[in-house]
Structure 1
């Protein structure tokens, strides 16, 4: 297993985070964002949530601002596509992404997994890889009832303090989700511990991703 850093201390990195729902990005890549910031990476983050309305919109914005508080610059965009019906809105979502592509050219894109059983997540993945064909894309994972977790090939070790900060921010900012039986600290820590074991993370925790294509020069 080879260690390749996205960016080192003092280096600048442009990141695009795409999430179908208001807590997806935080669950899938929140620890990675916080870890890079703690290491002194200069982050410019574009954070896009496709479905966030009512109380969920307030939660999405508050949470994004908390996770991105130490970034060099950030842009938060919240859409109002209908939750659970993304496949039927594919044309409109693709147009939204094409317009976004005209404004951003990130070094790395974090998006949903191709194997995700949730129809909204899967649609975002397919459209991301279709619209951003020349970009480096990492697919994150969301634990859920469907049991669709799979083998990953890319890992980001997470320090224990960063893991605790991620869990604290998730529980603090998403009150509408706390009644769900899977949305708790044990779920988030357990998955990170398992992924940390797989990559022998020094602090025992990690977030895991899938990279479909890498160009080595």
Structure 2
């Protein structure tokens, strides 16, 4: 299996992370972002959660600050769109995402995967592809009741320390989610172990890459 290093010591890596809800980036790509920062790369991150109103904004901001500790530069952007209603607010949601073009041009865009069963997640993916047409886009996965996990084709190995830190921060910061049956260590660790098996590592996060340009 051929490996490509996006994050190398001393290299600048600009990341645009998009999540529909306040915990999505952490669940789907939190370990990857922790790993990129730990690699010694000069990581710049724009962290964007579209639905983070009220108490969830406090959770999102506190969580992002800890996940991004050690990044060369980090900006947190929070919206207040209503959970579950993105399709009904399509014009406003699209305008919000379009507004992200003013930010530093990213080397990689992280977003939800195209076939996610949650309507908000799918819209964020669609708008990411509409808005960032000349970028590397890696689509992450969110485990849930719908059973919509697919067959990813990109893997980022996680150390035990990175996975443990991801799980620790998820439970520390998202008190509003702890009552959900799927929100626990077994879910996050189990999926990471399965993806690790698929790429011959112990643990991994997995992504879908629709287009890659090799030179």
Aligned to 1:104: 104
Note the C-alpha offset of 1:102: 2.6
Aligned to 1:214: 212
In the TM superposition, 1:1-217 aligns within 5 A as: 1-201=1-201, 204-217=202-215
In the alignment, is the contact (CA less than 8 A) between 2:43 and 2:71 conserved in 1?
Answer: yes
C-alpha root-mean-square deviation of aligned residues, in Å? 0.7
Gaps of 5+ in 2: none
**Secondary structure of residue in 2 paired with 1:115:** coil
In the alignment, is the contact (CA less than 8 A) between 2:28 and 2:142 conserved in 1?
Answer: yes
Residue correspondences, number: 215
Note the C-alpha offset of 1:103: 2.5
Note the C-alpha offset of 1:104: 2.8
User: 2: distance between equivalents of 1:41 and 1:207?
Assistant: 19
User: 2: distance between equivalents of 1:148 and 1:5?
Assistant: 28
In the alignment, is the contact (CA less than 8 A) between 2:83 and 2:120 conserved in 1?
Answer: yes
User: 2: distance between equivalents of 1:208 and 1:22?
Assistant: 20
**Secondary structure of residue in 1 paired with 2:2:** coil
Divergent runs of 4+, >4 A = none
TM-score (norm 1): 0.97
Note the C-alpha offset of 1:113: 0.5
**Secondary structure of residue in 2 paired with 1:18:** strand
For residues 29-71 of structure 1, give each alpha carbon's deviation from its aligned partner in whole angstroms, at most 9, with x where no partner exists. Answer: 0000111111111100000000001111100000000100110
For residues 81-136 of structure 1, give each alpha carbon's deviation from its aligned partner in whole angstroms, at most 9, with x where no partner exists. Answer: 11101011111111112121133310000000100000000010011101111111
User: 2: distance between equivalents of 1:79 and 1:54?
Assistant: 10
For residues 118-171 of structure 1, give each alpha carbon's deviation from its aligned partner in whole angstroms, at most 9, with x where no partner exists. Answer: 000001001110111111100000000000000000000000011101000000
For residues 165-211 of structure 1, give each alpha carbon's deviation from its aligned partner in whole angstroms, at most 9, with x where no partner exists. Answer: 1000000010110011100000000000000000011xx00000000
